[in-house]
């Protein structure tokens, strides 16, 4: 029997046989049924076989012909009911990883075809995974069991490989093991032949014999629905599943790919024919490691499926139950969005001429492309640029009014704007407890409306405060510390000091005790101005600041301030008491000159101990003039909201520009800014929705949080709203690139996101750190079209470059401002040179009237970073820039953030952090690079809600701290960072290869970030050195 020649198929059933189904070449070593579709044009009458039954006895396996590539011409009539699970043999076998599962589910007049295309998720340990370039194209066959069918097998449609070298793809079987039979022909054994049946070839239902020989361990349970007549089906559940079994030495043609993958990613395409139109919608899910026998199930779909399916397939059953709902929902969404696209297209055609005339986009594009800076000096080592911008009307008015010091600014505002609104403070009505879902109670504010000071009242209070300090014995040019949160009294106190030519020493309210004491002691101050909330910190700080003799505190709206328990000999006075002393005093003003020191502003300390920067009144005026030239403020229309620290010169001068233009300033805090802020009681509005500001200064960290907030809000919407948002986003993005605005889209789609900041925001000014292009674009489209990015340092009075009003690009900081020059010099170590093509690159130097004289009591550091050339102060920034064709500067690197890896690649840590911060899972991140290693690592502060979502997908139920230490969760986060890095076009070596999830939220109090939320890289490295070592050792 072993030498028997394979029998050829005949074109029809043998005499005396009814027509069979797609049976065929089963062999002595094979089993009942086999391969091959029915003859062309004839419906299958049962899964028996065309051709003679297999010969008796054992022997070598018969070689079937190549599988048919064309879909079957047979389509079942709509009246037939039933469920078919097709070709599960290939799935349970885990050999043909690219076969198709097809379900034909009939319900009424509807027919749902489910195509499951398998993609290899994890390779067999002995084989590499398939490459994406070898992904096949599938050709499905529609099969349904006719009534009265006999036993046998249904076989899968072929998989056509269309990747490269398809004709040379050589399938291989795995080696002999417990789960795989010998590769050679079995020595005897096999299935006995099937007796002829009236309903077609094959074995009757439930009457499969057991195989013999080497295949005995791969015995099959019965398959196929029972015939309507003949022996009744066996009672009870079908036989238990024994083991997976492979095809019996089946050698497929080269166009069929063989793979061994115990895990699959499957994609179901719900395909619904409607009036000849096929609409498809993919839904992806994962199959667990499970082996399933090849049943052909009858109408008792659920019971049989649960009998034959192992654990991983139960999730598929649940999905199948919701097929109509999923399909119809997706169809409705796709149809609705398609209709909206059609309407939008028609509206574009109709309204284009109108928008063209009204918005004149060609003028905007021409202004954006114009040259904005010129070269004033150039050689092989450096190149210097100067702004081509003309002075604005506001700048010229300041010069005409002879404003060159900050005390003259407030006098000018009082005379110009009188009783107009100047400074606004939100009224706190009460602080009440609000129960949380977890049972805890948080204190939150019940807030009222804004209460306003006009310009005359502000001027009067500032004058009285300055006089009150003089009556307390403080003289002009004394150093006075303001250690307070951003609020109206901060600005009043500062201008009171300017009027008496006293120097304001600014210290961030978020600094730790050590940094606070350092600033107080170095400037030798005797008076500190603080607030009700910060006053308790001085119970400890005063023990380290022996010179301090008096504290002045700004009162709280609700609580009485406790003044007991402080160091003996320290006088504590309320802010309003100083105003009263000044009102009763006859002391005159002592105005400063432009060369006097206005502010000693301590840097954020991102690279070490904070340094006191000396800023004169001339420096401050230069920045005021520069901002007035570049930033277009609209008097009598704009409203500014202030919440960044006034201790930073960027916020202080931005608010001063608003005062000069007569724009009211309403104060807020990060805890009360939005409706969702942590101190806003449920049902109460945030500061921005109440104030409805039009202008705001911000930093990239806040912008990233706003961007993530928009994405989170959209993700929680219905499928239709998500699809509508995506369409509107791309639609507006397209037209903005052509110079158009889309007011109708803003009103209909983006109104909710715009309302986050009050709904009237027209300008956001970002500074302090590089702004991610993705965040820049999202905020421009969804919240505020004019997002202006600036560049400057405390040493340059926050002014160096500001984006042009017409600039619609992202990733740039604009041309030099009108009051300074920008120079690029070669940095040979980093291979940045002014001769680079297409644009010159190098370290950025800034020179002009805005540049500081140096650092307070640090002459050596001053000589290192500052120099004077032709009577102009210059500062070496340490940043690397690229000057583009139109004169706009792009920050591309930072000398202190650049790391050279072992393989020679340079990694800009700040650039990588800026891009990865936009990943939803990242709350904050610090990337670390070791020059002795060939990869970087990262410390990540994860977003708790997004981390919980990842854990839910992985089926992990743990607390936040446990999730951060879970290796599976860490790997999932690392995978998310890698995918996001690819999206941001980071190089592979730039993306961290290992990470550690940090449970602590980095704050200025911890000393790990500055008050402007810049990373203090060295402090982070020291704190997490153990984790860094572990990541490099893993």
State residue 605's pLDDT score. Answer: 61
What does pLDDT average to over the chain? 75
Of 232, 216, 133, 124, nearest to 173 by C-alpha is 124
Low-confidence ranges of the chain (pLDDT < 50): 1-39, 43-324, 326
Residue written as tokens 């090849």? 294
Runs of H (alpha helix) within 40-115: 88-93
What 3-state DSSP class applies to 544? helix
Of 823, 820, 818, nearest to 804 by C-alpha is 818
State residue 328's pLDDT score. Answer: 55
State residue 162's pLDDT score. Answer: 31
From its phi and psi, is residue 510 left (phi > 0), alpha (psi between -120 and 50) or beta?
alpha
Of 128, 125, 69, nearest to 100 by C-alpha is 69
Cα(433)–Cα(440) distance, integer angstroms: 10
Cα(588)–Cα(593) distance, integer angstroms: 16
- Global pTM reads 0.67
CATH 3.30.300.30 fits 901-1034, yes or no: yes
State residue 772's pLDDT score. Answer: 85
State residue 803's pLDDT score. Answer: 95
R_g of the chain computed on alpha carbons = 38
Beta bridge partners of 482: 506, 529
State residue 604's pLDDT score. Answer: 63
CA 468 → CA 488, 552, 557, 673, distances in Å?
Answer: 18, 11, 22, 33
Residues 38-53 have pLDDT tens digits of 445 554 444 433 344 4
The vertex-540 CA angle with 537 and 542, nearest 5°, equals 95
State residue 608's pLDDT score. Answer: 60
Of 299, 338, 301, 293, nearest to 320 by C-alpha is 301
What 3-state DSSP class applies to 24? coil
Domain boundaries, the chain: 83-321, 901-1034
Q: 300: which residues sit within 8 A by CB, 6+ positions away?
A: none
Cα(33)–Cα(25) distance, integer angstroms: 7
Q: Could you tell me whether strands 786-791 and 763-766 are parallel, antiparallel, or unpaired per DSSP bridges?
A: parallel
Cα(813)–Cα(611) distance, integer angstroms: 25
């Amino acid at each position: 029997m072993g030498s028997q020649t394979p029998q050829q198929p005949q074109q029809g059933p043998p005499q005396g046989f009814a027509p069979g189904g797609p049976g065929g070449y089963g062999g002595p070593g094979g089993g009942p049924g086999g391969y091959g579709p029915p003859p062309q044009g004839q419906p299958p009458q049962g899964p028996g076989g065309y051709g003679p039954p297999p010969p008796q006895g054992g022997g070598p396996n018969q070689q079937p012909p190549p599988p048919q590539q064309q879909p079957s011409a047979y389509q079942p009539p709509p009246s037939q009911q039933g469920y078919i699970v097709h070709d599960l043999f290939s799935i349970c076998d885990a050999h043909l990883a690219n076969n198709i599962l097809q379900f034909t589910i009939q319900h009424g007049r509807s027919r749902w075809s489910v195509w499951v295309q398998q993609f290899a998720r994890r390779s067999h340990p002995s084989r590499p995974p398939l490459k994406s370039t070898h992904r096949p194209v599938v050709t499905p066959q529609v099969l349904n069991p006719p009534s009265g069918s006999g036993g046998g097998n249904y076989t899968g449609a072929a998989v056509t490989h269309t990747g490269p070298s398809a004709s040379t793809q050589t399938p291989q079987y795995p080696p002999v093991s417990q789960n795989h039979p010998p590769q050679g022909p079995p020595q005897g054994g096999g299935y006995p032949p099937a007796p002829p049946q009236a309903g077609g070839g094959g074995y009757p239902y439930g009457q499969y014999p057991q195989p013999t020989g080497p295949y005995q361990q791969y015995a099959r349970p019965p398959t196929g629905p029972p015939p309507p007549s003949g022996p009744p089906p066996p009672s009870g559940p079908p036989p238990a599943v024994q083991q997976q079994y492979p095809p019996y030495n089946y050698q497929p043609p080269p166009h069929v790919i063989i793979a061994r993958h115990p895990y699959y990613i499957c994609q179901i395409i719900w395909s619904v024919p409607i009036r000849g139109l096929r609409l498809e919608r993919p839904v992806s899910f994962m199959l667990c490691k499970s082996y399933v026998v090849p049943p052909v199930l009858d109408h008792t779909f659920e019971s049989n499926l649960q009998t034959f399916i192992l654990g991983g397939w139960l999730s598929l059953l649940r999905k199948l139950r919701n097929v109509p709902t999923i399909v119809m929902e997706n169809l409705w969404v796709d149809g609705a969005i398609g209709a909206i696209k059609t309407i939008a297209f028609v509206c574009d055609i109709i309204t284009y001429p109108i928008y063209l005339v009204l918005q004149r986009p060609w003028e905007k594009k021409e202004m954006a492309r114009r040259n904005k800076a010129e070269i004033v000096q150039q050689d092989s080592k450096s190149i210097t640029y100067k702004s081509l911008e003309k002075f604005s009307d506001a700048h010229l008015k300041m010069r005409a009014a002879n404003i060159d010091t900050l005390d003259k600014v407030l006098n000018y505002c009082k005379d110009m704007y009188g009783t107009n609104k100047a400074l606004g403070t939100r009224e706190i009505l009460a602080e009440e407890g609000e129960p949380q879902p977890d049972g805890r109670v948080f204190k939150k504010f019940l807030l009222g409306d804004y209460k306003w000071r006009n310009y005359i009242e502000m001027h009067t209070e500032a004058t009285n405060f300055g006089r009150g300090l003089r009556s307390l014995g403080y003289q002009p040019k004394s150093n006075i510390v303001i250690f307070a949160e951003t609020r109206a009294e901060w600005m009043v106190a500062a201008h009171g000091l300017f009027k008496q030519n006293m120097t304001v020493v600014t210290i961030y309210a978020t600094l730790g005790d050590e940094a606070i004491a350092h600033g107080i002691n170095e400037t030798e101050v005797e008076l500190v101005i603080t607030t009700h909330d910060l006053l308790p910190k001085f119970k400890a700080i005063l023990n380290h600041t022996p010179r301090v003799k008096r504290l002045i505190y700004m009162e709280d709206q609700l609580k009485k301030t406790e003044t007991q328990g402080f160091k003996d000999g320290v006088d504590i006075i309320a802010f309003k008491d100083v105003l009263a002393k000044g009102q009763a005093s006859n002391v005159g003003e002592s105005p400063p000159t432009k060369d006097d020191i206005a502010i000693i502003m301590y840097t954020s300390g991102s690279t070490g101990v904070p340094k006191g920067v000396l800023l004169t009144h001339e420096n401050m005026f230069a920045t005021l003039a520069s901002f007035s030239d570049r930033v277009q403020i609209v008097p009598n229309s704009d409203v500014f909201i202030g919440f960044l620290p006034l201790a930073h010169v960027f916020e202080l001068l931005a608010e001063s520009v608003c005062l000069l233009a007569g724009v009211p300033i309403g104060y807020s805090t990060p805890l009360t800014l939005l409706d969702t802020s942590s101190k806003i009681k449920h049902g109460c509005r945030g500061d921005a929705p109440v104030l409805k500001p039009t202008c705001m200064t911000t930093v990239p960290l806040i912008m990233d949080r706003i961007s993530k907030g928009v994405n989170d809000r959209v993700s929680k919407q219905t499928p239709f709203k998500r699809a509508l948002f995506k369409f509107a986003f791309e639609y507006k993005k397209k037209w903005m690139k052509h110079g158009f605005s889309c007011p109708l889209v803003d009103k209909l789609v983006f109104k909710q996101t715009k309302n986050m900041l009050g709904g009237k925001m027209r300008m956001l000014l970002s500074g302090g750190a590089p702004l991610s292009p993705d965040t820049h674009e999202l905020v421009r489209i969804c919240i505020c079209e004019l997002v202006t990015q600036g560049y400057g340092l405390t040493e340059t009075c926050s002014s160096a470059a500001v984006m042009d009003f017409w600039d619609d690009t992202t990733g740039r900081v604009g041309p030099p401002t009108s009051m300074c020059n920008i120079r690029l010099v070669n940095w040979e170590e980093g291979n940045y040179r002014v001769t680079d093509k297409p644009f010159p690159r190098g370290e950025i130097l800034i020179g002009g009237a805005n540049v500081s004289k140096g650092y307070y009591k640090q002459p050596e550091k001053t000589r290192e970073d500052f120099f004077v050339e032709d009577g102009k102060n210059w500062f070496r920034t340490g940043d690397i820039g690229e000057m583009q064709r139109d004169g706009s500067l792009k920050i591309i690197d930072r000398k202190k953030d650049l790391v050279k890896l072992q393989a020679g690649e340079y990694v800009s840590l700040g650039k990588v952090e800026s891009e990865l911060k936009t990943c939803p899972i990242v709350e904050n991140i610090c990337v670390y690079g070791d020059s002795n290693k060939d990869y970087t690592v990262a410390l990540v502060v994860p977003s708790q809600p997004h981390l919980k979502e990842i854990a839910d997908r992985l089926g992990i139920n743990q607390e936040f701290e446990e999730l951060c230490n879970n290796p599976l969760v860490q790997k999932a986060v690392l995978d998310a960072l890698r995918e996001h890095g690819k999206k941001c076009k980071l190089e592979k070596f730039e993306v961290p290869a290992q990470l550690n999830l940090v449970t602590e939220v980095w704050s200025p109090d911890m000393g790990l970030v500055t008050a402007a939320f810049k990373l203090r890289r060295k402090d982070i490295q020291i704190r997490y050195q153990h984790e860094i070592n572990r990541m490099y050792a893993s």
